[in-house]
Chains A and B, each alone.
Chain A
């Protein structure tokens, strides 16, 4: 198992390499003078000269890439001129908030999605199944930011049950309880789409598995139906759903852009939106790079988990 994880970690190197190339190229594609574009309204001649020196913009593209990547590997993602601080500091600080939100949402949508999918499959064509199917369809058809606004209106403004924005209360905030209260609405909103997709695929996987011969064997042994469903059918279905959960990590990390904006969550997503409108290109680049890299790691985790659950892949 350790050897497998090591092997997978090594296989990440080319993926991360490709990722960095794309991020780099996106920046290089900026029309016009890159230094001016990067600096936006901070393009004093002094700053332009500094950017050109830092990034080696007078050199060929390939050389520029290697200068850039060696800086990145040393933890230097450049400097945000709008915030006047190193990009890496800002991004890492905000990434913590995003990770809390995305991580909780991922757990949330996995639990809800798996449960709904299993129940839906077991009660195929029953009212639970119909309700779940409809809820899934509605969930994946609505803009999450709109749902967020509605939840704010209802739960935060009208019934005043939960805080509407931020990560902690401004006065006297802090602590786990405060964080959790602030998390509920954004995490729930962010989970909806992913939970719907997971539920759909879990239902399909369960229906597929329930027809397998080994389910008949389990029944022939005299196992209670609940055990047949959970220990035999669900166990096998889970293996094919886990990679999908890995992919949902991407939806959750990406969808955080909207949710963080709506709920004013101090994460990378909200930062990116601001950075784009102030044309703080290096901050955008750094944010995208860190979030994309974390998505790769989420997928790796899903792969490893799948391997741990399925002996056939493992050996």
Chain B
């Protein structure tokens, strides 16, 4: 948790109070929670001024009146006391105790956290071990033990609840302080001769404050619930004093005859706590900017395709894969921005097409669009068509598209450490790829996967198949990625920067392997890279991409010897050659002058 809180801590100084407030109230649920809380708190605060009967005035003749009876809106309890009045006065006590406990826990916990985090080293270790010890207890149990020692009573319940919540504050605050204590501005303050106390108060505390606020807003609801709980058990408020919990507990005896006596206070507790929780969630969202961006969108099984896309004709019917006029973009908060525009490519059986360009030029988006693998939301294929053997992939029903993935078009991705599942053995992952398209029993699946691993040059494949990705070297992991792509003898393999994450010698081996496999199996290869050196090694034809468009296409040899587009020239010049290192920069520099830019 402290990681995310750390992220939360830094930027809050900048936006300032007003924008945080408006953001908070802009969050509809948080605003509802806030309004509800204000109403409840005001009612409780103004209880002495409200025209309510004395909450403690008993009237045995009018005991257990139901809800909505005359003169008693919420009825009366077992002693004939007015429930509405008791409810208002009871919430006053409950809220006061709950908030007081929150403040006490926040104060003590934050001081502990600040000291531990700032001092670091042995102090930190010792203090945090103690805090861990407290957290090793089931939370409510510790509160019970404390009340057992101090004796039942509202104040003792308050102390107990505060104490068991101290660890949460101490932990969160300590995490952030620990990082801040090593920050440059704290060092600067120290060098300028400020004392530790003044550094803590003026430099560290303001940056820790958001964390304290987040923790307060997320624990206040709990503390109200716990206080009510202790009172319910008869360990908190003692008669004649009453809070919501003790009202509920006392009303329990009448549960079957007059359920409202215990149900009504529960509703009130529920309202207070839910308003606090709504507000707390809102506060956390506002102060923790990672959550605000809406970055956590779930990508669906396939990229969304615009219904009104224009769908160009298949101009290369003999090609195995033909991308026509593709436009893929991303929409954020209703705003759409294209990443690739009007991209057309075709790939014939057994051919290798290189797709080259700098980072952000749209190569990967193009490649992923082919099988609808661009994350969506936010991805959207706005225009174009993708013909696989003459059939438009974008028009396929989902089940059909999924059945084509891996069996007709397979992918090899860039970084095999993040693209292989970390918790399944590699053999299993390959078997799974086979099983997705072929009905085979376990034994044959295993044989096939081991054969594939052997084919891509993994030594002791049978043994290795049981290993997990993190136990393999980068080159071996990429070999696994290739084996997985080969699993179902696809017609097309899309290799999305398969060698970029590898060092140069391994890169050469992987390229050799890919070329060998391509010749052996006659598979068409769409090879994405930013390196012309790699292109000249392996590709028959090249398409150069820049800013989301294809700027030049041609046979590799021709394009290398006679590049037309300035950008292509620059990319080619970027490949260093042995023996020409000395003049490299001065040779390349003219190509990058502003006037030579397209």
Contacts and interface: CB of A to CB of B under 8 A. Distances in A.
Interface stretch (B20-28, B135-143, B506-514): B135-143
A257 interface: yes
A207 B293 CA distance: 14
Interface in B99-133: 129-130, 132-133
A216 B263 contact: no
A225 B136 CA distance: 40
Interface string B395-406: 000100011111
Interface stretch (A54-62, A107-115, A171-179, A246-254): A246-254
B261 to A, nearest CB: 11
B404 A222 contact: yes
B369 interface: no
A253 B140 CA distance: 9
A22 B133 contact: yes
Interface in A261-309: 261-262, 272-273, 275-277, 279, 281, 284-285, 288, 291-292, 295-296, 299, 309
A249 B245 CA distance: 24
Contact of B406 (A204, A222, A253): A222
B57 to A, nearest CB: 26
Given A143-B270, A221-B433, A311 B296 contact: no
Interface string A183-223: 00000000000000000000010111011111111111111
Contacts, number: 246
B371 interface: yes
B259 interface: yes
B418 A222 contact: no
B334 to A, nearest CB: 14
A24 to B, nearest CB: 11
A311 B423 contact: yes
Contacts of B398: 225
Contacts of A157: 256
Given A143-B229, A222-B404, A236-B422, A217 B140 contact: no
Given A23-B145, A284-B145, A141 B137 contact: no
B500 to A, nearest CB: 14
A232 B262 contact: no
B148 A284 contact: yes
Contact of B421 (A21, A217, A253): A217
Contacts of B456: none
B422 A214 contact: yes
A276 B298 contact: no
A239 B424 CA distance: 13
Contact of B423 (A22, A279, A295, A310): A310
B423 A18 contact: no
A208 B233 contact: no
A262 B420 CA distance: 50
Interface string A104-130: 000000000000000001101000000
Contacts of B424: 235
A277 B147 CA distance: 10
B418 A212 contact: yes
Contacts of A29: 149
A51 interface: no
A278 B401 CA distance: 70
Interface stretch (A72-80, A88-96, A147-155): A147-155
A223 B431 CA distance: 12
A145 B233 CA distance: 10
Given A258-B232, A295-B137, A137 B277 contact: yes
Contacts of B402: 219, 222-225
A213 B413 contact: yes
A204 B139 CA distance: 24
B407 interface: yes
Interface string A229-255: 001100110010000000001110111
Contacts of B139: 250-251, 254
B277 A140 contact: yes
Contacts of A257: 140-141, 144, 229, 233
A222 B421 contact: no
A146 interface: yes
A210 B298 contact: yes
B138 A221 contact: no
B255 interface: yes
A311 B470 contact: yes
Nearest to A193: B225
Given A141-B274, A258-B229, A315 B373 contact: no
B373 A26 contact: no
B421 A26 contact: no
Nearest to A146: B266
Contact of A276 (B235, B248, B418): B235
A84 to B, nearest CB: 20
Contacts of B259: 149, 153
Contacts of A223: 402, 432, 436
Given A221-B484, A224-B402, A236-B422, A254 B141 contact: yes
B297 A124 contact: yes
Contact of A220 (B256, B297, B371, B421): B371
B419 interface: yes
B297 A150 contact: no
A249 B470 CA distance: 32
Central interface residue in B137, B299, B413, B484, by most chain A CB within 10 Å: B137
A277 to B, nearest CB: 6
B90 interface: no
Contact of B269 (A27, A143, A262, A292): A143
16 contacts: A15-B133, A145-B232, A214-B422, A216-B375, A216-B413, A221-B405, A223-B432, A228-B301, A253-B141, A257-B233, A262-B252, A272-B148, A273-B234, A284-B148, A295-B137, A295-B138
What 8 pairs between A and B have smallest CB-CB spacing?
Answer: A254-B140, A146-B266, A222-B406, A222-B405, A254-B138, A250-B138, A141-B274, A18-B133
Interface of B: 129-130, 132-134, 136-142, 144-149, 151-152, 221, 225, 228-229, 232-235, 245, 248, 252, 255-256, 259, 262-263, 266, 269-270, 273-274, 277-278, 281, 296-299, 301, 368, 371, 373, 375, 398, 402-407, 410-411, 413, 415, 418-425, 432-433, 436-437, 468, 470-471, 481, 484, 487-488
